[in-house]
Amino acid sequence: MASTEEQGAKLYSAVERIVEDPNTIIERVERFEDEIDEEIPDLSDDELVDKTAEKLITYFANRTMTTGGLTSLPGIIPFWGSIIAVVGGGLADMTFCLKYEVEMVLSLSALYGFDIRDDKERGLAFLIASVSTYEQLDGKSNIFKGMFQAVGDYAQTQSQAVWNYTPRQIGKIVAKAFVQLAIKGASKSLLKAMPLVGIGISAAGNRILTKHVGVKSLDALRYRLASEKY
């Protein structure tokens, strides 16, 4: 049996392999903005960003809701075979859920003007998605405070903003978070043993989880923007 560290590394590798490329993500963000602008042309710039953020969060929450149900039905989701081979059936749902949540954070980052083609921004997206997912599964509520308690304190002080971390610091926190998520994902997969009930619980749970990650991501990005003005 693989160690928890190995499972965490496998989970990270699997998610990394199937996350969309930055250009695809940016194109979707711009398309959503254009659609909302055409539908409600009188919105201010700030209102347009807020509406687009809401639409993005709903879009990805619906994606994780669908995969939450479908991962209870082996062989249906594209990439299923390769993901099973990498992480095992128990973590397949967690893999797809994290894929969409990382893409959601990258989308919101692009919406708020950050360059998601930069490797550090990609690392931050993995960090925010993984830590806030862990918090929700573990019943914690504050992404910044919970980050250090849940996955290890790699900063000299909790007041240091995560976006000022070095890539090495970010990588360490992400690695810790994915180990914890592998553990949580394995226990969550027990729901799959209950046919119809498992499907319903997984689908609803994933949607709620992704909505939570979206809200936390917005809080982090808005705080980041505000802090960079001073």
Neighbouring C-beta atoms of residue 65, cutoff 10 Å: 22
Residue 68 has what pLDDT?
54
Tell me the mean pLDDT in the region 131-138. Answer: 79
**Higher per-residue confidence, 192 vs 225:** 225
**What is the pLDDT at residue 1?**
47
Pick the residue with more confidence: 18 or 190?
18
**24-61 pLDDT, tens per residue?**
999 999 999 999 999 999 999 999 999 999 999 999 99
Residue 65 has pLDDT above 90, yes or no: no
Mean pLDDT of 114-143: 82
Count of beta carbons in the 10 Å neighbourhood of residue 211: 18
Instruction: Please give the residue that has the higher pLDDT: either 103 or 230.
Output: 103
pLDDT in tens, 150-178: 444 433 333 356 778 888 888 888 988 89
- Mean of all residue pLDDT scores within the chain: 77
Q: What is the mean pLDDT of residues 187-202?
A: 46
Contact call for residues 173 and 151 (beta carbons, < 8 A): yes
Which is higher by pLDDT, 212 or 192? 212
pLDDT value at position 153? 44
Give pLDDT, residue 157: 36
Please enumerate in sequence order all residues whose Cβ is within 8 A of that of 170, keeping only pairs 6 or more positions apart, or say none: 120, 123, 124, 126, 127, 162
User: pLDDT value at position 201?
Assistant: 47
Q: Which residues, in sequence order, are CB contacts of 92 under 8 Å at separation 6+?
A: 71, 77, 80, 83, 84
Which is more confident, 183 or 48? Answer: 48
What backbone torsions phi and psi does residue 91 show, to the nearest 5 degrees? -105, 5
Q: Which pLDDT score is estimated for 149?
A: 47
Dihedral sign for Cα 37, 39, 43, 48, please: negative
Question: In the predicted model, is pLDDT for residue 6 greater than 70?
Answer: yes
Query: Residue 114: pLDDT band by 50, 70, 90 thresholds?
Result: very high
pLDDT of residue 50: 96
Q: Domains of the chain: which residue ranges?
A: 4-228
